[in-house]
Chain A
Amino acid sequence: DTGVSQNPRHKITKRGQNVTFRCDPISEHNRLYWYRQTLGQGPEFLTYFQNEAQLEKSRLLSDRFSAERPKGSFSTLEIQRTEQGDSAMYLCASSVSGVTYEQYFGPGTRLTVT
């Protein structure tokens, strides 16, 4: 069991550019979550998938954000036309629905928008 992995670990981009992050969950975990964490705050929920289906999206997820999990395995989170306010740590987590309830987190992708 290799744990949740996220790539890249760090991303620096200029305002207005598009960025994409990848998350690989623990194998056999059918749920995958995305959170955003800003400095000094707890993580805030963005969206989650059960298998391929996106079951819930937060109001925080503006139309510049899109997430996919096309084959029910890895997921990507894309931010279009990045803004300085998008600078944050983006965390991915996975779980098995109805079995363990806890979520296992990856190391995160730190985004800096200049």
Chain B
Amino acid sequence: AQSVTQLGSHVSVSEGALVLLRCNYSSSVPPYLFWYVQYPNQGLQLLLKYTTGATLVKGINGFEAEFKKSETSFHLTKPSAHMSDAAEYFCAVSDRGNQGGKLIFGQGTELSVKP
């Protein structure tokens, strides 16, 4: 069964510092890959996705992620953190064989941004 591991349940950075949130998946066939953000008491908002093509994908709010097949990773980065980036971030995968289908989520990483 597919699984997603997010290293670090809590990450704290200073405003203006680099943000790096880690995500690894376990699948013999690379899945579709997603990062979602969740603000308190709200649903999930899509940040970016990788389905095919260029392995470095850019998303909203200055975030980007790179798919590395050899490392089964899809880490999320942002060059300069902003206070408004404080939220919960979820990495998710879905099966290519089913045109997408259900999402399998990691346990989430809470990002704190210090002034």
Residues of A within 8 A of B (CB): 4, 31, 33, 35, 40-45, 48, 56, 91, 93, 95, 97-98, 101-108, 110
Contacts and interface: CB of A to CB of B under 8 A. Distances in A.
Contact of A102 (B49, B90, B106): B49
Nearest to B94: A101
A101 B43 contact: no
Interface of B: 4, 9, 32, 34, 36, 41-46, 49, 51, 90, 92, 94, 99-108
Shortest beta-carbon contacts, A-B, top 5 = A42-B105, A105-B43, A101-B100, A98-B99, A45-B102
Nearest to A108: B43
A97 B100 contact: yes
A64 to B, nearest CB: 21
Contacts of A45: 102-104
Given A95-B100, A97-B100, A101-B32, A107 B42 contact: yes
A40 B105 CA distance: 12
B102 A43 contact: no
Contacts of A108: 41-43
Contacts, number: 63
A4 B105 CA distance: 20
B91 to A, nearest CB: 9
Contacts of A105: 36, 43-45
21 contacts: A33-B103, A35-B103, A40-B107, A41-B107, A42-B90, A42-B105, A43-B44, A43-B90, A43-B105, A44-B105, A45-B104, A93-B103, A95-B100, A98-B100, A101-B99, A104-B46, A105-B44, A107-B42, A107-B43, A108-B41, A108-B42
B108 A42 contact: yes
Nearest to A10: B41
Contacts of A44: 105
Contacts of B90: 42-43
A111 to B, nearest CB: 13
A97 B99 contact: yes
A45 B44 CA distance: 14
Given A4-B43, A105-B43, A42 B99 contact: no
